[in-house]
Chain A
Amino acid sequence: MNAAKTCQPVGAMYAALGIHRCLPHSHGSQGCCSYHRSALTRHYKEPVMAATSSFTEGTSVFGGMANLTQAIQTIFTAYEPDIIAVHTTCLSETIGDDIPSIVAKAIEKGFVPEGKLVIHTNTPSYIGSHVTGFSNMVASMVKYLSQANPKSADTFNVIPGWVEPSDMREIKRILKAMNVPFILFPDTSDVLDTALDGERQFYPDGGTTVEELRRTGGSRATFALGHFASEAAAKGLNEKCSVPAHLLDLPIGLRATDRFISALHEVCGVAVPAEIEKERGRLVDLMSDMQQYFDRKRVALVGDPDQIVALAEFCADLDMRPVYIVSGTPGKVFETRVLERLEERVPEVKIANGAGADMFLLHQWIKQEPVDLIIGNTYCKYISRDEDIPLIRHGFPILDRVGHSQFPTVGYMGAIRLLEKMLDAFLSRKDRDDAEEKLELVL
């Protein structure tokens, strides 16, 4: 009930959009593709293009080979992408369609033009969550495209995880500021945050190119940000092309960003520029200026595991108490990682993930003992309104506000934005609730 997760294919679709001139393809019924495109469009307020195998009752009996081969022909003729990234659905997985052999058939029939590619990933909707789907598609990019090439060994791979285009843009800014030559993949900046100037580009400028994806195999190391979304691809790269993997948390908040910057400094052998140090300093300055308003505030975190691990740590570093932690995405490692990051600072914490960990459960917990703040996706607004608790929208999907596409929450600057949003929530509440004689001008 009131799930805190959705199904794999939508994550695969989002990841595929981070490849330059790629058309994601949903191998299943039309509704899957329609629902995923709608969900992503509502979140990003941008066109989200993807095609579907349009299964019918006949297809579900005889298999999806005819549909997918025809789809490949039509897509390359009418929509001319450089690459098609196929993901499966619960329907085609239950049928047992073998995508590589279908693609081979399409190639044999001449439906894949010279120099164009079709890759695929399996995303059975009845396993894992949307985060699993994202992870699977990124791992497939490695499986299909990465090539070991020692000659080009000056780059570092960065797998940003399922974060916003604004976050990917910010990670690139940090890497440039640090003088790290990098390949970021996938990269949805300039794909899902494009300009309006009266000219529609069906395939926008952004996205990691196929050429860059090939070169990931020759990089010196991979930084995988977020265990759930990025580890599989980083491990795959290490196995396939012997690129050492460094698994880090998403750089959300002070210390997770510290670890990211330290890792870049140590692994890439680059100095940390004054620009970045000053950003850190400004964040710490704000944390000390406003510490009193965060201290002992109870907060509920609900959403995707990689985000929550980092958010929990940041909240605790602000002396807040992240007391309820819920993620629909299964995986035993989640609880361990959250507890590690909390460092025994919040002994009363309740953590649930996987089966039964949903927003209904969170609502019950909040009813038993309320919190001062909820951080989660738009669906939390019903709990927020019922219980009169402020909500900061973070994660997927955000259907009713903008900002996530424009302003990052990663890095020190992102942490400043998060801090400002939390502070605003607490102080607006205080201004609203304070008695007339207690209303403070200066805070």
Chain B
Amino acid sequence: MSTETLNAADLKEQMLSAYPPKLAKKRGNQMVVNRKEGASEDEVPAIGANTRTSPGIITQRGCCYAGCKGVVLGPTRDIINLVHGPVGCSFYAWLTRRNQTRPPDEESENFMNYMFSTDMQDDEIIFGGEKKLAQAIREAYEIFHPKAIGVFSTCPVGLIGDDVHAVSRKMSEELGINVFGFSCEGYKGVSQSAGHHIANNQLFKHVIGRGTEVPEGDFKVNLMGEYNIGGDAFVLEEMFERCGITLCATFSGNSTIEQFERSHLADLNLVMCHRSINYIAEMIEEKYGTPWFKVNFIGADSTAKSLRKIADYFGDEGLKARVEEVIAEEMKEVAAARELHKPHLEGKTAMLFVGGSRAHHYQDLFAEVGMKTLSAGYEFAHRDDYEGRKVLPSIKVDADSRNIEELTVKRSEDEFRPEQQVRKAELTEQGFEFSDYVGMMPEMDKDTLVIDDISEHETEMLLRKVKPDIFCAGIKEKYGVQKFGIPCKQLHSYDYGGPYAGFKGAVNFWADIDRMINASVWKHLKAPWKN
């Protein structure tokens, strides 16, 4: 039933023909056929990304607030996230992203099951909401006595001119705890992506670097852009521990504010989701000298590759041996799972339209069992996530991005660790790559179709014309896709399954994909008398 290849150029034309001409031109820039005939391996066409979604398009995208509060800050259990605005924004972000967290004991703070909102009313829209915000911060403090409170601005806050930063500063003084604000009004930027950047900035300004306690361990790393959906971070924490790698902080799955505060003391930053967290990695390197590189723990082979790179970075023979032991041990189960599922999945086709890194990472998992990705795209990524960081200098900064603050970070005089940069220079000479992200497109096949910020109309056309064996997206797309009789795997919430990271995650993922593609129900869509 599945089509092995697709006529990408033809499909693109058909998709665009439904739009008014101006819109067709704009969307056309955001759809590219990967690699032209005769192009070299790493030569990919330019794609339009991180640009506005045209009004009226049924888009997957959310807003700046969702990226800031929902994605980056949401998973930290001991910061109270207080949303300043009408009730809805906080309500919809209440426990809906499946960020799991595991406090060490009953007494440890965990506010993630609570929803905090100033529940702004019309009076506050007219006369200002700063008083109500201050009162809400005070109340939250009196009930819970948290170490920190983050204040998140929703759309009307920016418009009526409430100064969440001034209120936060004032309340910080009054209460003696860290209270900090985020100007992450929903209309900022063009997608969640702006919110990631704002979250990165504020964490860097108000939290990172406040810790002084150096965690014990010879190989100290931060794992960045891992949000512990479905328990991914738990799998990786356990894997690191077995390898003898010390995790200072995860940004931000299963995390605490204390981890963030001490994260500048790590030896290395590992970036999982490049889109949402690269800013902090860059700023920490600038100020403290800690190098970073891209890792991918989605896919068993990818996990092994990333672990080996970490061991090579530290260059310690003991660490290398332990990493090899862990890989060998884990690969037994992985090989068994691959043997079980590959015969059912090999040659099947997939499409992935999600997030800012998942649509790339999960292609590895499919490829490892012989599945082909025909078409993919991100919801809110930038050109560097598609084409690789090498295009960074050529990205034009438009008005929407210019409105998002770029922090100017200076080298810290007393805390910069030059030896880390020396190590980086040595390794770079040996061909080791730092501050790297090759992007999605160079790793995709020729003649695949890459679509940025895919619309509902384009999704439907892909499903009707190409009929992939599985489509990966989010909750809003899930049931519409399945009405075509094609299973849809949610890669935000994992359909309430997972974990999918690391070796164990790969085993879980293949089992789930095998179950979904080969479920009995797909054989019974038509009533017997209609066959």
Contact = CB atoms under 8 A, between A and B. Distances in A.
Given A126-B120, A196-B485, A58 B114 contact: no
Contacts, number: 226
Interface stretch (A34-42, A263-271, A288-296): A34-42
A376 to B, nearest CB: 14
A79 to B, nearest CB: 7
Q: Most chain-A CB neighbours within 10 Å: which of B57, B85, B95, B115? A: B57
Contact of A77 (B20, B55, B90, B116): B20
Nearest to B478: A41
Contacts of B18: 77-78
Given A2-B115, A31-B64, A126-B121, A91 B187 contact: yes
A78 B156 contact: no
Contact of B65 (A31, A51, A89, A399): A31
Contact of A72 (B56, B89, B95, B527): B56
A156 B58 CA distance: 36
Contact of A29 (B63, B115, B527): B63
A49 B124 CA distance: 32
Nearest to A328: B87
Q: Most chain-A CB neighbours within 10 Å: which of B119, B188, B399, B477? A: B119
B160 interface: yes
A7 B159 CA distance: 19
Given A35-B66, A41-B475, A198-B485, A70 B121 contact: no
Interface in A51-105: 51-60, 67-68, 70-75, 77-79, 89-91, 93-95
Contacts of A45: 479
Contacts of A91: 155-156, 159, 186-187
Interface string B170-192: 00000000000000011111110
A199 B526 CA distance: 10
Contacts of B432: none
Contacts of B92: 6, 35-36, 38-39
Interface residues on A, range: 35 or more
A17 interface: no
A257 interface: no
Interface in B455-508: 455-457, 460, 463, 474-480, 482-485
B480 A35 contact: no
Contact of A70 (B56, B114, B159, B186): B56
B119 to A, nearest CB: 7
A5 B87 contact: yes
A382 B113 contact: yes
Contact of A196 (B160, B187, B191, B483): B483
Interface string A14-48: 00000000000100111110111111011001111
B63 A32 contact: yes
A92 B428 CA distance: 51
Contacts of A56: 52, 187-190, 400
Interface residues on B, range: 35 or more
B156 A94 contact: yes
A203 interface: no
Given A1-B115, A38-B96, A31 B66 contact: yes
Interface string B118-154: 0111101100000000000000100000000000001
B125 A126 contact: yes
Interface in B81-119: 85-96, 113-117, 119
B86 A126 contact: yes
Contacts of B340: none
19 contacts: A6-B91, A7-B87, A25-B56, A30-B53, A31-B66, A34-B476, A53-B55, A55-B187, A56-B400, A78-B57, A94-B125, A94-B159, A94-B160, A124-B125, A126-B125, A196-B525, A197-B525, A355-B121, A382-B113
Q: Which 10 pairs from chain A and chain B are nearest by CB?
A: A31-B63, A7-B88, A74-B56, A71-B56, A47-B480, A29-B186, A35-B92, A71-B55, A125-B86, A91-B155
Given A30-B53, A35-B92, A74-B23, 18 more contacts: A1-B114, A1-B140, A28-B155, A29-B64, A30-B186, A31-B89, A34-B63, A41-B476, A42-B96, A52-B59, A54-B54, A56-B52, A57-B399, A72-B56, A78-B56, A94-B125, A125-B86, A201-B483
Interface of A: 1-3, 5-7, 9-10, 25, 28-32, 34-39, 41-42, 45-60, 67-68, 70-75, 77-79, 89-91, 93-95, 124-127, 129, 194, 196-202, 328, 355, 360, 379, 382, 399
